[in-house]
Structure 1
Amino acid sequence: MALRKLVAGNWKMHGLSADLAEAKAIAEQSKDYPGVDVALCVPSILIERAARALPDFTIGAQDVHHAEKGAHTGCISVQMLHDAGASLTIVGHSERREAQRESDEEVKSKATAALSCGLAVILCVGESLEVRERGAAVETVVGQLDGSLPHVLSSETELAIAYEPIWAIGTGKIPTVDEIAEMHSAIRQRLRERFGADGDQVRILYGGSVKASNAVEIFAIADVDGALVGGASLKATDFIPIVAAAASSSGG
């Protein structure tokens, strides 16, 4: 049975109070596609305002700290995100793995902390162009997944994996259909090996220059259960057609 599609927008370091109008437009227009789960991961300064303005829409964060509290200047805990109104967080995005030098172990600790406190998680993995060109993409991503996954999943856990080829993020380039299918199949197989039947319930999203013009083709690939969308999630006119493509692919 196909999993319900999830289309999540990652606003990255974009968004001020005035941009909440776009979030409202996205939330309102998403109601036309009730068979798709839609979310926006906004900058931390907007989480509370967005959640307050859109009480029936999923607002997420872009990162979280693994500790409950403490001397972690500039960091945000799971409890703080809950308090602000977030119900989802991204962990392990390639831009944090690279710029903030986050390790697999750090990503795992963040995912574990969030899931254990009832916050849904989108855990990101992906390879560089150099890794792809030397034929080690699958090996590298599966290894990254192994190091980043929490040890245990409960039946209530809401975990999604986002495969993001680093070289495709914001470039307009995407892997071929066969390359995406190969990677998503490898991720699914590893999830089954780690979690048994529960591994089939973990959604695998594709991320990396997803837009209206390629969304239909991407969503038609086996084990593509949604998308993590960057730049195209900033405007309803760009984002909603992707949601519509997800709905079309799943009959909803």
Structure 2
Amino acid sequence: MVRKLAAGNWKMNGTRAALEELQALAQAHSDPAVDILICPPATLLMSAAELVSGHPLDIGAQDCHTAPSGAHTGDISAPMIADCGATAVIVGHSERREDHNESNDLIRAKAESAHAAGLTAIICIGETLAQRDAGQTLDVIADQLQGSTPDGATGVNTVIAYEPVWAIGTGKVPSLEQIGEVHDFIREKLTARFGADNVRTIRLLYGGSVKPANAAEIFAVPNVDGALVGGASLTEADFSPIIKSLEATV
């Protein structure tokens, strides 16, 4: 059975003082029934990985460059991330797609670089509110999924995170039916491309205003294998109830 995943994206938040929250999280979940991943800012990657060493908690990065090295000032490569002790990297988050004009092709190349470095790529996809209102949600999801996912994707090296852009940080959450429709659609598309045996092991996360108050009902939706959580992952007090809600589905 594939283990479910509770992933936290700290985004551009956290200084060294925030490592106290990470330590508290590690202590609170010494034998979790699900996988737990925290993606802190790059400045904390190595410290975070060292802090949780020996604990069943993994560290990931929030982005990587397509190249393993080179003249790319300010960027971080996938091998560098792995060298810090991290095991995963988020690619294609809507904030990167929008703020940095990242295309599907670029995100796919980043995921391939992550795979080459032995990292799990968490590939984010999702529609804007205008696209949903126009009835384009599934078309957008299909395009991003096809264009951003490498041919070598497996359950070991790839996680897909559905994050409707209009729900991220807004407090707005799609209905359970809407979440289920998209997750079922993603599973169908992946099955058609990669085959049923492989696709069963690729975890599908939901992200977008996931909180302790709504986590349990979201996790009860079929084909939701966990969550990619933003603000609620910044503290142990907020993230632990979400983790426990996910464990309750195991």
TM-score, normalised via structure 2 length: 0.96
Contact residue 163 and residue 204 of structure 1 kept, 8 A: yes
Any idea what SS the aligned residue of 1:89 has?
strand
Counterpart of 2:144 in structure 1 is 144
Deviations 1:157-176 (A, max 9, x none): 32110000000000111100
Q: 1:154 to 1:236 in 2, by over 3 A?
A: closer
Counterpart of 1:49 in structure 2 is 47
Counterpart of 1:117 in structure 2 is 117
Counterpart of 2:162 in structure 1 is 163
Q: What runs of 5+ residues in structure 1 fail to find an aligned partner?
A: none
Q: CA deviation at 1:79?
A: 1.1
Runs of 4+ in 1 over 6 A off after TM superposition: none
Any idea what SS the aligned residue of 2:11 has?
coil
Q: What is the one-letter code of the residue matched to 1:52? A: E
Alignment of 1:1-252 (within 5 A): 3-32=2-31, 34-55=32-53, 56=55, 57-153=57-153, 157-196=156-195, 197-250=197-250
CA distance in structure 1 between the aligned counterparts of 2:84 and 2:247, rounded to whole angstroms: 29
CA distance in structure 1 between the aligned counterparts of 2:117 and 2:185, rounded to whole angstroms: 29
Q: Percent identity?
A: 49
Deviations 1:218-244 (A, max 9, x none): 000000000000000001000000000
Contact residue 15 and residue 42 of structure 1 kept, 8 A: yes
Q: What is the one-letter code of the residue matched to 1:30? A: H
Deviations 1:110-147 (A, max 9, x none): 00111122101110000000001111101111111110
Q: What is the one-letter code of the residue matched to 1:143? A: D
Deviations 1:152-200 (A, max 9, x none): 2357x32110000000000111100100000000000111111102112
Q: CA deviation at 1:83?
A: 1.2
Contact residue 205 and residue 224 of structure 1 kept, 8 A: yes
TM-score, normalised via structure 1 length: 0.95
Q: What is the one-letter code of the residue matched to 2:58? A: T
Q: What is the one-letter code of the residue matched to 2:86? A: A
CA distance in structure 2 between the aligned counterparts of 1:179 and 1:75, rounded to whole angstroms: 36
Any idea what SS the aligned residue of 1:81 has?
helix
CA distance in structure 1 between the aligned counterparts of 2:102 and 2:124, rounded to whole angstroms: 12
CA distance in structure 2 between the aligned counterparts of 1:232 and 1:127, rounded to whole angstroms: 22
CA distance in structure 1 between the aligned counterparts of 2:35 and 2:157, rounded to whole angstroms: 12
Number of aligned positions between the proteins: 247
Q: CA deviation at 1:26?
A: 1.1
CA distance in structure 1 between the aligned counterparts of 2:152 and 2:63, rounded to whole angstroms: 21
